[in-house]
């Protein structure tokens, strides 16, 4: 390994790779890259580099590898486990893929799109729609998260119920390894059993094994009709019954099934401008259902109405509103997506992104609520999320009026309570947001020694000098 250069000369060499305009060193310019959405992690960096091509990414990583410079890949900076921002030392450089923002190709016949890592998710959705097709990944941050980040986190979101997480939406990848070698794996094949499926190693690796520069994404037939409903229910048990009934009525056409509690709805109507309760009376719980039909709007409505009518007759739901227009459907979804953002207006919030087998969700919510309130009297659980995937964001807002810092100081204690229940139920403590820095200390508790050892061996094999996202995940 070469001598470690001074920061000055490292910055000069990086500047020569990307051009002076595309390296940021001024504290004001780098500040937005150093803090993540929840402001739980705030770091420092000697430079943010914004390469404009795969070749430039390769040159940056070669230099970083030679000089043992730690590199933090960043895409849209919406990640929720702190993995995309530099640590406090100032040594780590940020490699932003924001300028890799071309859609290289869209093959409507083959149903594929080749998008670079910096393309914003919403642009991928729009480009697919313009071609009469559909890209199903959908999440609250879709206006700012980028495809590279979505792949590196194996993002889930609300479309995962019918179409799967990002892992199932990627056919091929182009990746720069920590050594600067480029893996050209942009294959468009649905079937390809020639050896190990290398792309799956990088999907969900949270920037620790390579920098994704482009991907072949799967596109789907655009549904011809969509129907969305908001239903009021007595309990998560009733939501589970409704889910079974909706699946029986719509089968794979059930493309969304989300739940939220009354507390969550009240937070949204209080803090999200223009948001209103879709139902006349308050209910303890709500479900948002979406049915998509390959045939027509009428067909989608018919399936949804069948599910809701049966549920009303059986007493599973107390009331429901079916969106009468696309605009109203968007308003229902806005309530659900707004939940992630509004909690900060209610003071401190301790987060959990967990999954349990779908049928155990009611029991999980009941046990976790009871245990958390026993430990922190007055705490307000705000469980919500992708019930159809068994994935609940079990967030806990502080008791009104207490000191925010004192409440947040109990983060690990509350985590331990909730994660303990998850473990007893055979669930996961990191359902869709990943491990990052936030949950790194917990990985050893939920993975067997051999699994941890295999992860470390993989990391060492691909990143022998440990330069890529050190201190994250493993
Ligand atoms: C309001 C809101 C709602 C959200 N809802 C959901 C949801 O429903 N489902 C869900 O799964 N997530 C959700 N998230 C979390 C977040 O949006 C996702 O994790 C998203 O996929 C991150 O994409 P990003 O472009 O912002 O990546 P970043 O935050 O920039 O990076 C995330 C991780 O990927 C790595 N990385 C980034 N780019 C690359 C690359 N090119 N190559 C290698 N590694 C890279 C980073 O180092 C980091 O480890 C939500 C976040 C917010 C703020």
Strands 71-74 and 93-96: parallel
CA of residue 84 to ligand 1 center, whole Å: 8
Q: Write out the two tokens for 153.
A: 């986190």
Q: What is the pLDDT of residues 127-168, one digit of tens each?
A: 999 999 999 999 999 999 999 999 999 999 999 999 999 999
Question: And the tokens for 235?
Answer: 């309990």
Burial of 327 (C-beta count, 10 Å sphere; 0-12/13-18/19+): exposed
- Measure 50 CA to ligand 1 centroid, in angstroms: 18
Model confidence band, residue 37 (pLDDT cutoffs 50, 70, 90): confident
Q: Which two tokens stand for residue 51?
A: 């390469």
Q: Which atom of ligand 1 is nearest to the CA of 206?
A: 49
To the nearest whole percent, how much of the chain has pLDDT over 90? 96
Per the structure block, which two tokens stand in for 74?
């960043």
pLDDT, tens digit, 9 for 90 and up, residues 335-373: 999 998 899 999 999 999 999 999 999 999 999 999 999
CB 141 within 8 A of CB 84: no
Alpha carbon of 157 to ligand 1 centroid (Å): 11
- Ligand 1 atom showing the smallest separation from residue 469 Cα: 47
CA atoms in the 13 A half-sphere facing the CB of 168: 13
Q: Which residue among 64, 74, 256 has the greatest number of ligand 1 atoms within 8 angstroms of its CB, and so is best to mutate?
A: 74
Q: Which residue has the tokens 């609520």?
A: 369
Is residue 246 over pLDDT 60? yes
Find all residues with CB under 8 Å of 49, minimum gap 6, and list them: 14, 17, 18, 22, 23, 24, 60, 93, 94, 95, 96
**Per-residue pLDDT, 301:** 96
User: According to the model, what pLDDT value does residue 256 have?
Assistant: 95
pLDDT at 1 over 60: no
Q: Which atom of ligand 1 is nearest to the CA of 78?
A: 26
Q: What is the rounded radius of gyration, in angstroms, for the C-alpha atoms of the chain?
A: 23
pLDDT band at 7 (very low <50, low <70, confident <90, very high): low
Kindly tell me if the per-residue pLDDT of 39 is higher than 90.
no
At 265-288, the pLDDT tens digits run 999 999 999 999 999 999 999 999
pLDDT at 264 over 80: yes
Q: Which residues line ligand 1 (CB under 6 A)?
A: 37, 72-80, 83-84, 97, 117, 139-141, 145-146, 148-150, 152-153, 155-157, 206-207, 211-212, 340-341, 432-433, 436, 469
Nearest CA owner, ligand 1 atom 53? 78
20 Cβ contact partners less than 8 Å away, ≥ 6 residues apart: none
What would the pLDDT profile of 374-408 be if each residue is shown by its tens digit? 999 999 999 999 999 999 999 999 999 999 999 99
Give residue 34 CA to ligand 1 midpoint distance, Å: 15
Query: Which residues lie below 8 Å from residue 3, measured CB to CB, with a gap of 6+?
Result: none
> 148: part of which helix (H) or strand (E)?
helix 147-152
Q: Which of these, 225, 236, 251, lies nearest to 322 by C-alpha position?
A: 225
Q: Quick one: pLDDT band at residue 186, thresholds 50, 70, 90?
A: very high
Q: How many CB atoms within 10 Å of residue 23?
A: 21
pLDDT at 251 over 70: yes
pLDDT at 4 over 70: no
Q: What residues pair up with 169 in beta bridges, in sequence order?
A: none
Q: Are 233 and 328 in contact (CB under 8 A)?
A: no
Mutate to test the pocket of ligand 1, among 40, 135, 141 (most ligand atoms within 8 A of CB): 141
Q: What is the reported pLDDT for 340?
A: 87
User: How far, in Å, from the CA of 377 to the mean position of ligand 1?
Assistant: 33
Q: How far is the CA of 216 from the centre of ligand 1 (A)?
A: 18
Q: Is the pLDDT of residue 422 over 50?
A: yes
Tell me the HSE value of 12 on the side-chain side, using a 13 A CA sphere. Answer: 5
Which pTM value belongs to this model? 0.95
The conformation of residue 166, written as its DSSP 8-state character, comes to G
Residue 3 has pLDDT above 70, yes or no: no
Residue 146 Cα to ligand 1 middle (Å) = 7
């Amino acid at each position: 390994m070469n001598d470690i250069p001074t920061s000055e000369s490292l910055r000069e060499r990086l500047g020569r790779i990307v051009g002076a305009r595309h390296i940021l060193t001024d504290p004001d310019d780098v500040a937005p890259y150093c803090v993540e959405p929840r402001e739980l992690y705030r770091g420092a960096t000697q430079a943010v580099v914004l390469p404009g091509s795969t070749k430039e990414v390769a040159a940056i990583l070669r230099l970083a590898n030679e000089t043992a410079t730690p590199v933090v890949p960043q895409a849209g900076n919406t990640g929720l486990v702190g993995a995309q921002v530099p640590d406090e030392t100032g040594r780590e450089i940020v490699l932003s893929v924001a300028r890799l923002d071309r859609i290289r190709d869209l093959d409507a016949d083959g149903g594929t799109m080749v998008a670079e890592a910096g393309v914003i998710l919403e642009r991928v959705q729009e480009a697919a729609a313009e071609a009469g097709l559909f890209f199903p990944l959908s999440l609250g941050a879709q206006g700012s998260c980028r495809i590279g980040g979505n792949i590196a986190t194996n993002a889930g979101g609300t479309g995962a119920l019918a179409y799967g997480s990002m892992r199932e939406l990627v056919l091929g990848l182009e990746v720069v390894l920590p050594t600067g070698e480029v893996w050209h794996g942009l294959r468009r094949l649905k079937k390809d059993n020639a050896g190990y499926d290398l792309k799956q190693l990088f999907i969900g690796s949270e920037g620790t094994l390579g920098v994704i520069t482009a991907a072949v994404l799967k596109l789907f037939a655009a549904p011809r009709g969509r129907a969305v409903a908001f239903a009021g229910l007595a309990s998560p048990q009733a939501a589970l019954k409704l889910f079974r009934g909706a699946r029986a009525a719509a089968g794979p056409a059930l493309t969304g099934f989300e739940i939220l509690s009354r507390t969550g709805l009240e937070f949204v109507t209080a803090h999200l401008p223009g948001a209103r309760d879709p139902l006349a009376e308050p209910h303890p719980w709500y479900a948002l259902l979406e049915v998509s039909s390959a045939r027509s709007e009428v067909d989608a409505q018919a399936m949804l109405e069948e599910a809701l009518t049966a549920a009303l007759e059986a007493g599973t739901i107390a009331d429901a509103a079916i969106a009468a227009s696309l605009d109203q459907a968007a308003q229902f979804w806005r309530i659900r997506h707004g939940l992630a953002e509004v909690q900060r207006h209610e003071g401190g919030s301790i987060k959990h992104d967990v999954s349990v087998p779908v049928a155990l969700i009611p029991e999980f919510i009941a046990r976790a609520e009871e245990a958390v309130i026993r430990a922190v009297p007055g705490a307000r659980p705000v469980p919500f999320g992708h019930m159809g995937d068994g994935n609940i964001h079990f967030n806990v807002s502080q008791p009104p009026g207490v000191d925010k810092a004192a409440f947040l100081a109990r983060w690990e204690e509350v985590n331990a309570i909730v994660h303990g229940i998850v473990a007893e139920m055979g669930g996961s403590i990191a359902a869709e947001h990943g491990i990052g820095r936030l949950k790194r200390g917990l990985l050893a508790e939920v993975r067997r020694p051999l699994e941890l050892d295999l992860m470390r061996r993989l990391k060492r094999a691909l990143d022998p000098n440990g330069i890529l996202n050190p201190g994250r995940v493993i």
